[in-house]
Amino acid sequence: MFAAGSAFGSPIVVNNPNFSILPPGGFNNIEPTDGNYTTGLGIPGWNANGAGQFAPTANSFDGADGSNIIAYAGNQTITQTVDALVQAGQIYTLTVDLGQRRGWGFGSSADLLVGGVRYQAIGVVPSPGLYSVYTATFVGTELNAGDSITVELTASGSQGEFDNVALDGPAVVTTPEPSSLILLGSGILGIAGAARRRLVHGRLQRG
């Protein structure tokens, strides 16, 4: 039996997901040792009062050269409500890189807020100077269908470091094009014909 199509998660747009878009004027703090950063400017696309953006150097994160921009917060939460509503029976998955700045400890967490319920992202705590991928998943129900979805990035107890936020939503089913189905049908008929010819040839040889 051949499947009519395949399904895969459809990305939901997250504004400024890797924090590379800086506020007008760019960094307002120049720090050659640890990396340039912003304060008091917010983060484009996010509700981030008191948080900012940071371009760490290798002094703060392994392999960093001051070109990759991340978000940071201290005992604050960075949020964004995406332009999508919950659909019953559909799976939603958040992934985000959480980092531990060298010498600062680990204080990063992430979750999805839906209908007053938080779905916490789970992952392995990164070593100092590294990042780790955290994942949160929930399934839409009849009770939360139509609710908004908010991404929350929280720092507690230490500076939080965040990068590469992605959110996948309802599955998209792909259906083979008619031409593909024709080719598939032709291939099946060709295989059947070849098998029949081999069977007839074998009978003639035995006869």
Residue 59 lies in a domain: yes
22/37 Cα distance (integer angstroms):
10
DSSP annotation of 146 reads T
Vertex 43, ends 58 and 78: CA angle to 5°? 90
Q: Which among 46, 43, 71, 45 has a CA at the least distance from the CA of 56?
A: 71
Structure tokens that stand for 164 in this block: 């590469």
Q: Both 33 and 127 in a single domain?
A: yes
What does each of the 207 residues of the chain score in pLDDT, given as a tens digit? 333 444 457 999 999 999 999 999 999 999 999 999 999 999 999 999 889 999 999 999 999 999 999 999 999 999 999 999 999 999 999 999 999 999 999 999 999 999 999 999 999 999 999 999 999 999 999 999 999 999 999 999 999 999 999 999 986 544 455 544 444 444 444 444 444 444 434 443 445
Q: Both 205 and 136 in a single domain?
A: no
Q: Which residues contact 171 (CB under 8 A, 6 or more apart)?
A: 7, 8, 9, 10, 90, 91
Confidence at residue 146, expressed as pLDDT on a 0 to 100 scale:
97
Confidence at residue 47, expressed as pLDDT on a 0 to 100 scale:
97
3-state secondary structure of 118: strand
Q: Both 151 and 207 in a single domain?
A: no
Confidence at residue 206, expressed as pLDDT on a 0 to 100 scale:
45
Confidence at residue 198, expressed as pLDDT on a 0 to 100 scale:
47
Residue 37 lies in a domain: yes
Q: Both 13 and 86 in a single domain?
A: yes
Residue 86 lies in a domain: yes
Q: Both 22 and 44 in a single domain?
A: yes
Q: Which among 52, 49, 50, 47 has a CA at the least distance from the CA of 23?
A: 52
Residue 34 lies in a domain: yes
201/207 Cα distance (integer angstroms):
10
Q: Both 125 and 183 in a single domain?
A: no
Confidence at residue 178, expressed as pLDDT on a 0 to 100 scale:
52
Residue 191 lies in a domain: yes
Confidence at residue 129, expressed as pLDDT on a 0 to 100 scale:
98
Q: Both 20 and 50 in a single domain?
A: yes
Q: Both 28 and 121 in a single domain?
A: yes
Q: Both 158 and 205 in a single domain?
A: no
Residue 3 lies in a domain: no
Rg of the chain over all Cα atoms, to the nearest angstrom: 25
Q: Both 143 and 187 in a single domain?
A: no
3-state secondary structure of 200: helix
Confidence at residue 29, expressed as pLDDT on a 0 to 100 scale:
98
Overall domain count for the chain: 2
Confidence at residue 42, expressed as pLDDT on a 0 to 100 scale:
95
Which residue in the block uniquely carries the two structure tokens 């395949």?
Answer: 6
**How buried is 142 (Cβ within 10 angstroms: 0-12 exposed, 13-18 middle, 19+ buried)?**
exposed
Q: Both 144 and 134 in a single domain?
A: yes
For the domain that residue 84 is a member of, what is the CATH number? Answer: 2.60.120.260
Q: Which domain holds residue 33?
A: 8-173
Which residue in the block uniquely carries the two structure tokens 């703090």?
Answer: 29
Residue 1 lies in a domain: no
Q: Both 49 and 91 in a single domain?
A: yes
